[in-house]
Amino acid sequence: MAFKLAIIGRPNVGKSTLFNRLAGRRLAIVDDTPGVTRDRRSHPARLQDLKFEVIDTAGLESAAAPTLEGRMRAQTEQAIDEADIALFMIDARAGVMPDDATFANLLRRSGKPVVLVANKMDVNAARSGVLDAWELGLGDPVEVSAEHGLGMSDLRDAIVEALGEDRALAEEPEEAVLTTDEITVGEDIEPDSEEEAVYDSSKPLRIAIVGRPNVGKSTLINALLGEERMLTGPEAGITRDSISVDWQWRGRKIKLFDTAGMRRKARVQEKLEKLSVSDGLRAVRFAEVVIVVFDATIPFEKQDLQIADLIIREGRAPVIAFNKWDLIEDRQETLAELHEKTARLLPQVRGLQAVPISAETGRGFDKLMEAVEKTHRTWNSRISTGRLNRWLEGATGQHPPPAVAGRRLKVKYITQIKTRPPGFVVSCSRPEAMPQSYVRYLMNGLRETFNLYGVPIRVALRTSD
Ligand code: GDP
Ligand code: GDP
């Protein structure tokens, strides 16, 4: 049996936003159809490899109490009652409010496992709220942005820790964390402002370097920058904001963002695994291209795949560096094998750039930086509506959309509304009925025709009327 999770917190902290992220947008759309009564109190949800039920607290309307406060309290108590685990959410931007303490007490008394979640970490001012969170006596908060999907790996780990692996992973875990390019139905992708659309190579290219511990991140950063003193950068506790280093490669301006590796030596006592993901994330937030470092001698560990998957889901431009290439003997054979594995284990982005390097000898740096720039350009691509629709006509002619329930689906029009990464809106009849396999056919065609390899792409289906 999957476990049940409740998201608890005062209004406006971001509970529904997280609920929608966990339960999936598709579901929300189905449920919002007028005339469909929503009687289900919990919804199937997913967080990476975890499958569970999330309780729709807003749906607990039976709770009768005269005041709003009373109703909230009753709803909360009911949700806690039904749940196996509670996520207690605070708004890190607003800090800890008196109501938060009330909820924290309720939760503590329930005796249920609780994970404290500090939301809205995408906002700069959120740092102090996290420090306040300690007052609640619920331990170390997991820092997330429900809106932007940041911190989801940490949240997953915290849930597993609070519930115990046996309970959290009761269902068969999947082989690896594999998500596909994001397909949204009926929901708009936020359009870019026009100025972002043009590739401008005079602006600094923003890079972060991430990877699990010991893959060679610090060695790589120091070799790239050629200066040891970076290791003595700001220490944890003094400032935890991400910092960047300005640098150049063949005249191209680069901003390299701080990662765990750069600071690791300053705080050995911390749990390295956790550090690499959460600290790396802060850097990822600011980066355009993210170099994911793998150890070529121990490639494709679960954590490697999780990190790569996260970068892709964040919509960043990923480049894989297979480091420690100096230790590999059968280089040609190994490279072919690693490329095959990349395609198989990270299928969510076709044509991922993956480059062998040695951080220690400096081999492969030029190829790596070429891959970074190429991926960055693709990530910035903009394709004209005319070209897109000429292609669409051919693609739908060659392989028309299927019929569903006796009626043929129609795909009418495509336009790119976003870059960084490229995002497209496809107008069609009955978007909700369009099979994923057909959307995937279109995505593959888009990649091939417009050379969109190596970056995540987004496609949203919209009703045409
Ligand atoms: P609820 O009342 O707790 O369900 O909160 P909502 O999910 O409705 O969110 C309240 C407001 O906070 C909305 O305007 C959201 O867009 C915003 N919000 C939610 N999560 C985040 C986040 O991670 N970052 C930021 N900046 N805003 C968020
Ligand atoms: P981080 O935890 O990812 O920052 O990894 P480090 O940069 O601290 O490197 C971990 C270990 O791998 C150190 O002992 C490095 O000397 C070693 N290392 C890093 N890059 C290379 C490389 O290209 N070749 C070899 N042989 N060892 C490397």
* Beta carbon of 125 within 6 Å of any ligand 1 atom: no
* Beta carbon of 358 within 6 Å of any ligand 2 atom: yes
* Beta carbon of 123 within 6 Å of any ligand 1 atom: yes
Q: What is the mean pLDDT of residues 229-244?
A: 39
pLDDT of residue 195: 42
* 203 annotated to bind ligand: no
Q: What is the mean pLDDT of residues 319-332?
A: 96
DSSP letters along 191-208, please?
Answer: PPPGGGGS--TTSPEEEE
Q: What are residue 161's phi and psi, to 5 degrees?
A: -65, -40
Separation CA 320–CA 334 (nearest Å): 15
Instruction: Reply yes or no: is the peptide bond before residue 356 cis, omega within 30 of 0.
Output: no
Q: What percent of the chain has pLDDT over 90?
A: 34
Counting ligand 2 atoms within 8 A of each CB, the residue from 209, 212, 214 with the most, and so the one to mutate, is 214
* 56 annotated to bind ligand: yes
Q: What is the mean pLDDT of residues 443-462?
A: 92
Check: CB of residue 401 under 8 Å from CB of residue 443: no
What does pLDDT average to over the chain? 78
* Beta carbon of 122 within 6 Å of any ligand 1 atom: yes
- Of 216-225, 278-287, 392-401, 450-459, the poorest mean pLDDT is in 278-287
Q: Which of 67-71, 301-305, 386-390, 404-408 ranks highest by mean pLDDT?
A: 386-390
* Beta carbon of 137 within 6 Å of any ligand 1 atom: no
Q: Which ligand is nearest to the CA of 12?
A: 1
Helix, strand, or coil here: 89? strand
Two tokens, residue 67:
């005041």
* Beta carbon of 326 within 6 Å of any ligand 2 atom: yes
Q: What is the mean pLDDT of residues 59-88?
A: 74
* 11 annotated to bind ligand: yes
Q: Which residues contact 447 (CB under 8 A, 6 or more apart)?
A: 350, 351, 453, 457
Separation CA 118–CA 91 (nearest Å): 6
Question: What is the tens place of the pLDDT at every residue in 345-371?
Answer: 998 899 999 999 999 999 999 999 999
* 217 annotated to bind ligand: yes
How many CB atoms sit inside 10 A of residue 60's CB? 18
Of ligand 2's listed atoms, the one at least distance from the Cα of 358 is: 23
Q: Which ligand is nearest to the CA of 20?
A: 1
* Beta carbon of 57 within 6 Å of any ligand 1 atom: no
Check: CB of residue 154 under 8 Å from CB of residue 146: no
Residue 50, beta-bridge partner list? 47
Q: Is the pLDDT of residue 147 over 80?
A: yes
Two tokens, residue 343:
């395609």
Q: Which residues contact 49 (CB under 8 A, 6 or more apart)?
A: 156, 169, 173, 174, 177
Q: Which of 20-24, 262-266, 329-333 ranks highest by mean pLDDT?
A: 329-333
Q: What is the mean pLDDT of residues 40-66?
A: 71
Q: Which residue, judged by its Cα, is nearest atom 25 of ligand 1?
A: 120
Q: Which residues contact 458 (CB under 8 A, 6 or more apart)?
A: 181, 182, 183, 184, 189, 315, 418, 421, 422, 423, 424
* Beta carbon of 392 within 6 Å of any ligand 1 atom: no
Of 179, 226, 370, nearest to 289 by C-alpha is 370
* Beta carbon of 13 within 6 Å of any ligand 1 atom: yes
Q: Which of 217-226, 290-299, 420-429, 454-463 ranks highest by mean pLDDT?
A: 290-299
pLDDT of residue 134: 77
Q: Which residues contact 106 (CB under 8 A, 6 or more apart)?
A: 8, 73, 76, 77, 80
Burial class, 226, CB count within 10 angstroms (exposed 0-12 / middle 13-18 / buried 19+): exposed
CA 370–ligand 2 middle distance (angstroms): 22
* 410 annotated to bind ligand: no
**Residue with the larger pLDDT of the pair 315 and 396:** 396
* Beta carbon of 261 within 6 Å of any ligand 2 atom: yes
H or E element at residue 72: helix 68-82
Q: Is the pLDDT of residue 339 over 90?
A: yes
Separation CA 271–CA 248 (nearest Å): 33
Separation CA 135–CA 264 (nearest Å): 27
* Beta carbon of 124 within 6 Å of any ligand 1 atom: no
Largest CA distance in the chain: 74
Model pTM?
A: 0.57
CA 265–ligand 2 middle distance (angstroms): 13
Q: What is the mean pLDDT of residues 212-217?
A: 86
* Beta carbon of 216 within 6 Å of any ligand 2 atom: yes
The confidence band for 10, taking pLDDT boundaries of 50, 70 and 90, is confident
Check: CB of residue 220 under 8 Å from CB of residue 321: yes
The confidence band for 31, taking pLDDT boundaries of 50, 70 and 90, is very low
* Beta carbon of 119 within 6 Å of any ligand 1 atom: yes
Q: Which ligand is nearest to the CA of 119?
A: 1
Of ligand 1's listed atoms, the one at least distance from the Cα of 146 is: 23
Q: Which residues contact 424 (CB under 8 A, 6 or more apart)?
A: 388, 414, 415, 416, 417, 418, 446, 457, 458, 459, 460
Q: Is the pLDDT of residue 398 over 70?
A: yes
* 435 annotated to bind ligand: no
* 81 annotated to bind ligand: no
Q: What is the dihedral of CA 68, 69, 71, 73, to 10 degrees?
A: 160
Q: What are residue 42's phi and psi, to 5 degrees?
A: -140, 155
Counting ligand 2 atoms within 8 A of each CB, the residue from 209, 217, 218, 219 with the most, and so the one to mutate, is 219
Task: Tell me the C-alpha to C-alpha distance, in Å, between residue 329 and each of 22, 95, 325, 429.
Answer: 44, 54, 9, 55
Q: Which ligand is nearest to the CA of 327?
A: 2
The confidence band for 296, taking pLDDT boundaries of 50, 70 and 90, is very high
Separation CA 141–CA 133 (nearest Å): 7
Query: Which amino acid is residue 263, in one-letter code?
Result: R
Question: What is the tens place of the pLDDT at every residue in 76-103?
Answer: 888 888 899 999 999 988 888 888 888 8
How many CB atoms sit inside 10 A of residue 251's CB? 6
Q: Which residue, judged by its Cα, is nearest atom 18 of ligand 1?
A: 14
* Beta carbon of 364 within 6 Å of any ligand 2 atom: no
Q: Is the pLDDT of residue 292 over 80?
A: yes
In the block, tokens 């939301």 appear at 119
* 59 annotated to bind ligand: yes
Q: Which residue, judged by its Cα, is nearest atom 24 of ligand 1?
A: 120
Provide the pairing of β-strand 205-210 with 85-91.
unpaired
* Beta carbon of 17 within 6 Å of any ligand 1 atom: yes
pLDDT of residue 318: 96
Of 434, 457, 429, 433, nearest to 445 by C-alpha is 457
Q: What is the mean pLDDT of residues 115-127?
A: 83
H or E element at residue 262: helix 260-263
pLDDT of residue 229: 38
Q: Is the pLDDT of residue 188 over 60?
A: no
